[in-house]
Structure 1
Amino acid sequence: MLDLFGDEDTLALAERHRPLPGRFGAGRRDRAGVLAGLDDLSEQAGGALGVVLGSGFEGAPDLIAEIAARHRLLGAGAETVAALKDPFRFAALCERLAVPHPAVSAGPVTQRGAWLVKRAGGCGGAHIRASAAGAVPPGHYLQARMPGRAFALNFLSDGRRIEPLALTEQWQSPSPLRPFRYAGALARGRDEAGPVPASLVAEIAEAAHRLARATGLTGLASADCLVDGERWWLLEINPRPGATLDVLDRRPTPLLIHHIEAALGRMPSIEAAPADATGAEICYAAQTRAAMPPLDWPDHVRDRPRAGSLVARDAPLCTVTASGPDAAAVKEELRARAEQVRALLEETENNHEFQHDRAEPQCPGRAVGREPRR
């Protein structure tokens, strides 16, 4: 495993881990660090089946091409990512394939509030701002602001056809500086009425299919949409496994296995969707903690920061998960579990008087802090 964080649960599961310097969401990756880390992990393993890329590479197709030249890439290649994540190429592709998509512009604009400023290749919503009149910052673009609720069609693609997995509902956790910050997602149970008409879900799936075939997309991906009554718009395709893994990975066969099979061009047989609804929500830090206290984390908490690690204010603290008979019960349980995490943190700090002016030294080969990650 090669990542920026080295969370407690990641280290418990990974056979080997190499940290990367930098901050998630910065728009750039440490090229030398990524290549050296992957080479080292592959050598220690005596060779590897391939490399699965997570988020953070959308704006670096050149780096993806370099990775693919050294290791088998299990998922979208450089040209696919470039076609899907370059905002102007993607908008032109959507127009050619008759996929509804908000207008994009390089700016400047005069209609204040009618456009959103987004970073090309950005992810997680933290990079999105309402536009003001004037020039667009380098590396950013404008997308027309559309009405509706946020959803994502999660699917597998083998480059020729797709297999939809779930339509997840998404919501935001706004902060003063990040009004569109991603918060969480929920997949309804197998027999629960869906929030979007089946005809619209079929339209979204067909659009995702056309785009996957046109770009050669393989592996696990998601199509982010806005739905407003009988209208919908495709915002983007995320050509990789994403934050909804905690929500989707509930079938007998691990979703990563299905991703690898589809990435190799073999569409797997997908088991029936689970009966219960499931959701995941990010807990953001209300204040900077120079050193996290040691916590007895509940089993339903993911992305657990290690004791002694830095967590910046407004950065993700952890992720809580919940399942239940329907969407309403899951949302209620997610809120309750998020409050439990905050109470646990406060109680631990009070009981142990865990006070540090700076982060404790970390073990060699482990990351020292965490910043916004999705």
Structure 2
Amino acid sequence: MTGEAVLIAAQSGRALAAAARRAGYRPFVADLFGDEDTRALAEGYRRVPGRLGTGLGARAVEAALAALAAEAGAPVGLVLGSGFEGAPGLMWRLAGRHRLLGAAPEAVAALKDPVGFAALCGRLGIPHPEIALAPVPDPQAWLAKWRGASGGGHIRPATPGRLPAGAYLQRRVPGLPRSLNALADGRTVAVLAVTEQWAAPGPGRPFRYAGAAGPGTLPAAVQCGAERALAGLVATTGLRGLVSADLLVDGERWWLLEVNPRPGATLDVLDRGPAPLFSAHVAASSGRLPNTSALPQGAAASEILYAGPAIPAVPLLDWPDWAMDRPAAGSRVEAGAPVCTVLAGGPDARSARRAVALRAKALRARLEEGPADTARALAGHPFTLGKVSQDPLSCVG
């Protein structure tokens, strides 16, 4: 048995577990899904019911991590993925029992409180959409969001009347969604790549996250401004580890929507260079920014495949190696729920995005129409996963 043990907890832990394995760690994972490839990657595994941050889910994740830590022996620490942004109390309790590799609870609280974050952006001169905590006279110009949520599925057009508990309003601004992906050491940042995102609208979820592709590009002025903004936020909050800043970019204008204080959905797209990003995350969490400039050529894209109607029982499939987060045969997938993640590559982000869309379409046909009818369709799309590259950037100052 080789490699240090590491604890991982997330809504879906597969990407982090794969990144940990690539970096030579032995992952012990707690998540909500228990997908087949997550279990195969994990040295130890516990499935957590409910939501990670509240009620039964919060107590269950604490118990799961305690059991996994005992099983691991002496894990190097705990990496938290999505699902904890709205639960600073849980993060504090976990930090009291395990060494957190990544953002501290106080940094997450500062970045995920909409009022505090808007005020912080104002003090640092960072363009950020106006927010409101009470009904507005022109709701059509606003979006309703939930504190501490992630993935875009919580975002709705604002409606007249009183806001539900936990909701706030953010003024609509124009632009294309982009992210600045970086490593932070508590003082400054090392930018890894720009990625582009897109939505997969579903019933009542017009902004549901679909996928990401990269590396992409930003106008030079936007690039430098966004880098300086993220560096300022890191210096102010002490943020550490793999992080990303979500932007809307409209020509030379841009707005910072939020900072994701954790490894995010672009990990599959970016972790293809000679230096594993999980190792870089651990180093940055300890206050050391590693050299990440030697990244290979090419681009990659990932897309979440959502169920249309419910899938009563996932068929027994010979899953292609470019499909991740694979549900167990016979498991039920509710209508609109994520089925799996599809990966593809290409010479640039646009090509990779086209390739991943074709693969997702073929796999959807296989799931909905039956393996016998669509194996030929899958065989017709033998795309090879590409590599991600990004020249080192030097606009932070």
Could you say whether these structures have the same fold, taking a TM-score greater than 0.5 normalized by the shorter chain as the test?
yes
Question: After the TM superposition, which residues 121-136 of structure 1 pair with which residues of structure 2 at under 5 Å, given as runs?
Answer: 121-136=148-163
Partner residue of 2:352? 330
2:268 paired with 1:246: yes
Partner residue of 1:19? 47
Question: After the TM superposition, which residues 127-166 of structure 1 pair with which residues of structure 2 at under 5 Å, given as runs?
Answer: 127-166=154-193
Partner SS, residue 196 of structure 2 = strand
Post-superposition CA distance 1:218-258 (Å, at most 9, x none): 00000000001111000000000111111111111221111
Number of positions where the alignment pairs a residue of Structure 1 with one of Structure 2: 345
Query: How far has the Cα of 1:23 moved from its partner?
Result: 4.7
- Give the distance between the partners of 2:253 and 2:343, measured in 1 at CA: 31
Q: What amino acid sits opposite 1:294 in the alignment?
A: L
Partner residue of 1:356? none
- Give the distance between the partners of 2:371 and 2:272, measured in 1 at CA: 34
Post-superposition CA distance 1:59-107 (Å, at most 9, x none): 0001000000000000111110100000000000000111110011101
- Give the distance between the partners of 2:243 and 2:267, measured in 1 at CA: 11
Q: Indicate conservation of the 8 Å contact 2:214/2:348, yes or no.
A: no
Q: What amino acid sits opposite 1:84 in the alignment?
A: L
Q: What amino acid sits opposite 1:4 in the alignment?
A: L
2:218 paired with 1:196: yes
Partner SS, residue 37 of structure 1 = helix
Seen in structure 2, the aligned counterparts of structure 1 residues 294 and 301 have a Cα distance that, compared at 3 Å, is same
Gaps of 5+ in 2: 1-28, 374-397
Partner residue of 2:367? 345
Query: How far has the Cα of 1:11 moved from its partner?
Result: 0.8
Q: Indicate conservation of the 8 Å contact 2:183/2:190, yes or no.
A: yes
Runs of 4+ aligned residues of structure 1 deviating over 6 Å after TM superposition are 26-29
Query: How far has the Cα of 1:335 moved from its partner?
Result: 1.4
Query: How far has the Cα of 1:346 moved from its partner?
Result: 3.4
2:117 paired with 1:117: no
Q: What amino acid sits opposite 2:174 in the alignment?
A: P
Partner SS, residue 76 of structure 1 = coil
2:30 paired with 1:8: no
Partner SS, residue 30 of structure 1 = helix
Q: Indicate conservation of the 8 Å contact 1:8/1:303, yes or no.
A: yes
Query: How far has the Cα of 1:303 moved from its partner?
Result: 0.9
Seen in structure 2, the aligned counterparts of structure 1 residues 279 and 126 have a Cα distance that, compared at 3 Å, is same
Query: How far has the Cα of 1:339 moved from its partner?
Result: 1.4
- Judge which range, 141-150 or 320-329, deviates more: 320-329
Q: What amino acid sits opposite 1:261 in the alignment?
A: A
- Give the distance between the partners of 1:324 and 1:83, measured in 2 at CA: 38
Q: What amino acid sits opposite 2:181 in the alignment?
A: N
Q: Indicate conservation of the 8 Å contact 1:27/1:56, yes or no.
A: no
Query: How far has the Cα of 1:132 moved from its partner?
Result: 1.0
Determine which of 163, 169, 173 is the counterpart of 2:200: 173
Query: How far has the Cα of 1:306 moved from its partner?
Result: 1.0
Query: How far has the Cα of 1:296 moved from its partner?
Result: 0.8
Post-superposition CA distance 1:309-330 (Å, at most 9, x none): 2211111111111111122321
Partner residue of 2:228? 206
2:65 paired with 1:43: no
Larger RCO (alpha carbons 8 Å, 6+ apart): 1
Determine which of 122, 125, 130 is the counterpart of 1:95: 122
Partner residue of 1:232? 254
- Give the distance between the partners of 2:54 and 2:355, measured in 1 at CA: 34
2:96 paired with 1:76: no
Partner SS, residue 171 of structure 1 = strand
- Give the distance between the partners of 2:343 and 2:56, measured in 1 at CA: 29
% identity of equivalent residues: 54
- Judge which range, 314-323 or 122-131, deviates more: 314-323
- Aligned Cα root-mean-square deviation (Å): 1.5
Q: What amino acid sits opposite 2:336 in the alignment?
A: D
Query: How far has the Cα of 1:349 moved from its partner?
Result: 6.0
Partner SS, residue 113 of structure 1 = helix
- Give the distance between the partners of 1:23 and 1:119, measured in 2 at CA: 15
Determine which of 289, 297, 308 is the counterpart of 1:286: 308
Partner residue of 1:187? 214
Partner SS, residue 52 of structure 1 = strand
Query: How far has the Cα of 1:347 moved from its partner?
Result: 4.7
- Give the distance between the partners of 1:113 and 1:29, measured in 2 at CA: 37
Q: Indicate conservation of the 8 Å contact 1:29/1:57, yes or no.
A: no
Gaps of 5+ in 1: 189-193, 352-374
Q: Indicate conservation of the 8 Å contact 2:274/2:296, yes or no.
A: no
Seen in structure 2, the aligned counterparts of structure 1 residues 339 and 128 have a Cα distance that, compared at 3 Å, is same
- Give the distance between the partners of 2:161 and 2:57, measured in 1 at CA: 31
Q: What amino acid sits opposite 2:49 in the alignment?
A: P
Q: Indicate conservation of the 8 Å contact 1:115/1:145, yes or no.
A: yes
- Give the distance between the partners of 1:233 and 1:70, measured in 2 at CA: 37
